[in-house]
């Protein structure tokens, strides 16, 4: 869930903001009213495509401008944009778990807080899906961090892959773009095949596996290589492609009801839809989807999409512990509104000060910031999570077994 950027060369594109708004809206709708959007989880696939497109484009522009890719600068930018809000939400979840969650559930909750803090939540959930007693496992307020974990693992490896491709191009005297296209294409194709095969064997594992999801980032990356800029003219064609792309995303989100077949081949629908909509850009014309993209509520939702994704699920999860009953539709509507409000506040008071507050200052400031954020995450894991798990396990041991 890459937060929007306004750094040089990466100005926010309205059509991508619409995809962000659509993706997070689908996820929130699915979590609040699953019958309305039974496949709202496909919004995550859209996020993955957007991430692959934006990050690859950013790295390629840097390579074209400077002749190299700075891993230090790349990872510092990612840390400034992603860690602050993510760490604050984990801290909130830890505190609320102590306050309102029964102690018998602490072990499950805090185990996943640790996994989320270390960005391996997807593998924790994949392991849980193989547990013979998985039906007894409880949902936690940080389960949605699985997608952030996949994304962070992508960020860790993808720049190295691009650096390798550019090195091969220089050594062989071949085109950098063509070499990158071949390398990224091979990796993406292998991942897609793995995704399809693994889904047929174990769709739960395929859903959380980084290897089965890499191709979705790769699809966005390939678009950045072959069509990083919006084509000029062709407004009617681009409008038609844009609407078709939206249909490929929205229709399955509202109608697909076979989760055992996902991700697999079905995940091609939202991925291709996102690719089509990004390629189409903002065409002119009375029937252009650009009018929809330009709506202020759409742009605002896209702007807060990262914080909204982080905050909505913990809010949905903790309120029933306070009220003692599942949230009825009217209360769920209020919780959605509250999630938007909290997300807007989070962006203004947590994300933006860190993302923009260090502009023009020495890189050392960003290094310190990344170190502090990482230290906070480790404190949450070691100082809060550890005692929580120990207490929960002690509580479990004190309950006599029932024969």
Element (H, E) at 386: helix 386-398
* pLDDT of the residue at 367: 47
Q: Distance between CA 353 and CA 84 in Å, rounded?
A: 10
* pLDDT of the residue at 6: 38
Give the distance between the most distant pair of CA atoms in the chain: 73
Residue 209 CA: distances (Å) to CA of 126, 149, 193, 199, 264: 7, 10, 13, 10, 12
Q: State in Å, rounded, how far the first CA of the chain is from the last one.
A: 46
* pLDDT of the residue at 368: 57
Which residues 6+ apart lie within 8 Å of 127 measured at CB? none
Give the tens place of pLDDT for each residue, 318-368: 999 999 998 999 999 999 999 999 999 999 999 988 877 755 554 455 445
Which segments of the chain have a pLDDT < 70?
1-11, 134-136, 358-403
Give the tens place of pLDDT for each residue, 158-207: 999 999 999 999 888 888 889 999 999 999 999 999 999 999 999 999 99
* pLDDT of the residue at 138: 82
The answer to whether the CB of 305 falls within 8 A of the CB of 5 is no
* pLDDT of the residue at 396: 45
Comparing CA positions, the residue from 282, 267, 214, 289 lying closest to residue 56 is: 214
Q: Distance between CA 370 and CA 349 in Å, rounded?
A: 17
């Amino acid at each position: 869930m890459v937060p929007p950027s306004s750094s040089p060369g990466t100005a926010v594109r309205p059509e991508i903001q619409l995809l962000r708004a659509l993706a997070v809206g689908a996820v929130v709708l699915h979590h609040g009213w699953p019958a309305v959007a039974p496949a709202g989880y496909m919004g995550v696939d859209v996020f993955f495509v957007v991430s692959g497109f934006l990050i690859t484009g950013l790295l390629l522009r840097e390579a074209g401008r400077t002749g190299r890719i700075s891993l230090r600068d790349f990872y510092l930018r990612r840390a400034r944009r992603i860690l602050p809000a993510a760490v604050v939400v984990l801290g909130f979840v830890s505190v609320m778990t102590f306050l309102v969650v029964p102690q018998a559930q602490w072990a499950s909750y805090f185990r996943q807080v640790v996994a989320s803090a270390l960005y391996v939540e997807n593998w924790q959930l994949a392991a849980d899906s193989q547990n013979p007693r998985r039906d007894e496992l409880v949902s936690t307020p940080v389960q949605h961090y699985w997608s952030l974990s996949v994304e962070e693992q992508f960020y860790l490896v993808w720049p190295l892959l691009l650096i390798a491709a550019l090195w091969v191009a220089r050594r062989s005297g071949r085109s950098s773009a063509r070499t990158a296209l071949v390398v990224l294409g091979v990796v993406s194709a292998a991942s897609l095949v793995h995704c399809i095969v693994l889904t047929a064997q174990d769709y739960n594992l395929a859903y959380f596996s980084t290897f089965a999801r890499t191709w979705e980032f790769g699809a966005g990356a390939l678009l950045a290589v072959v069509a990083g800029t919006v084509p000029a003219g062709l407004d009617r064609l681009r409008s038609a492609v844009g609407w078709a792309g939206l249909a490929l995303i929205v229709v399955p989100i509202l109608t697909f009801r076979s989760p055992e077949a996902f991700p697999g081949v079905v995940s091609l629908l939202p991925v291709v839809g996102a690719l089509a909509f990004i390629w189409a850009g903002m065409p002119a014309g009375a029937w252009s989807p650009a009018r929809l993209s330009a709506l202020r509520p759409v742009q605002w939702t896209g702007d807060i999409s990262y914080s909204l994704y982080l905050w909505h699920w913990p809010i949905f999860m903790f309120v029933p512990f306070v009220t003692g009953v599942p949230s009825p539709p009217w209360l769920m509507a209020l919780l959605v509104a509250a999630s938007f409000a909290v997300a807007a506040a989070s962006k203004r008071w947590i994300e933006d000060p860190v993302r923009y507050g260090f502009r023009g200052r020495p890189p050392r400031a960003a290094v310190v910031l990344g170190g502090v954020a990482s230290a906070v995450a480790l404190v949450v894991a070691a100082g809060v999570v550890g005692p929580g798990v120990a207490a929960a396990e002690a509580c479990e041991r004190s309950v006599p077994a029932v024969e």
